């Protein structure tokens, strides 16, 4: 018996998701899996995670990145990204502007979340899918740009 409240993913959204690469690390039982989803002509969601591969199941070990990337003047800029590389605690990095593309601020609680890495990965992906337009507008404002969307 299925959960009648379970939210279904729209087929057109799933069609936009494609695997970019899967590469093996030095250990035979661990791989990094990455995917991306186009959100608009200039915006995309990219995520990568380390997982254990064994014969019975695949387990997410660590979130490498869940990033929102926007293209401005034919240049890609990371607006925000989540990772759990520090003590397995999910946290957000917000990038300042196109003038300082490598300067970022780590957002403390309440954005930091603990829990199962697979659930945290899912939460971060859903957050960017839901809020990418807000993140983009704020990035444009910090960059002193007039939105062209």
Compute the distance between CA of residue 12 and CA of residue 22 in angstroms, rounded to an integer.
23
Long-range Cβ pairs for the range 139-144 (8 Å, 24+):
139/70, 139/77, 139/79, 139/95, 139/97, 142/96, 142/97, 143/72, 143/97, 143/98, 143/99, 144/97
pLDDT(68) > 90: yes
Q: What is the pTM of this model?
A: 0.77
pLDDT(11) > 70: no
Using one digit for the tens of pLDDT, what is the confidence trace for 108-143?
545 666 668 898 999 999 999 999 999 999 999 999
The DSSP letter of residue 129 is H
Extract the tokens encoding 142. 């910090």
Q: If you average pLDDT over every residue of the chain, what do you get?
A: 79
Residue found under tokens 């279904």? 8
Using one digit for the tens of pLDDT, what is the confidence trace for 16-63?
445 444 444 445 567 888 899 999 999 999 999 988 766 567 788 889
């Amino acid at each position: 018996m299925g959960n009648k409240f379970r939210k279904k993913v729209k087929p057109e959204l799933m069609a936009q998701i494609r695997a970019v690469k899967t590469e093996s690390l030095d250990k035979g039982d661990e791989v990094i899996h990455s995917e991306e989803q186009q959100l608009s002509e200039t915006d995309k969601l990219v995520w990568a995670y380390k997982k254990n591969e064994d014969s019975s199941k695949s387990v997410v070990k660590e979130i490498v990145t869940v990033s929102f990337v926007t293209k401005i003047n034919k240049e890609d800029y990371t607006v925000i990204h989540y990772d759990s590389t520090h003590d397995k605690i999910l946290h957000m990095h917000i990038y300042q502007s196109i003038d300082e593309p490598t300067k970022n601020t780590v957002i403390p609680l309440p954005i930091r979340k603990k829990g199962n890495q697979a659930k945290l990965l899912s939460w971060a992906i859903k957050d960017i899918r839901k809020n990418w337009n807000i993140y983009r507008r704020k990035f444009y404002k910090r960059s002193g740009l007039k939105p062209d969307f």
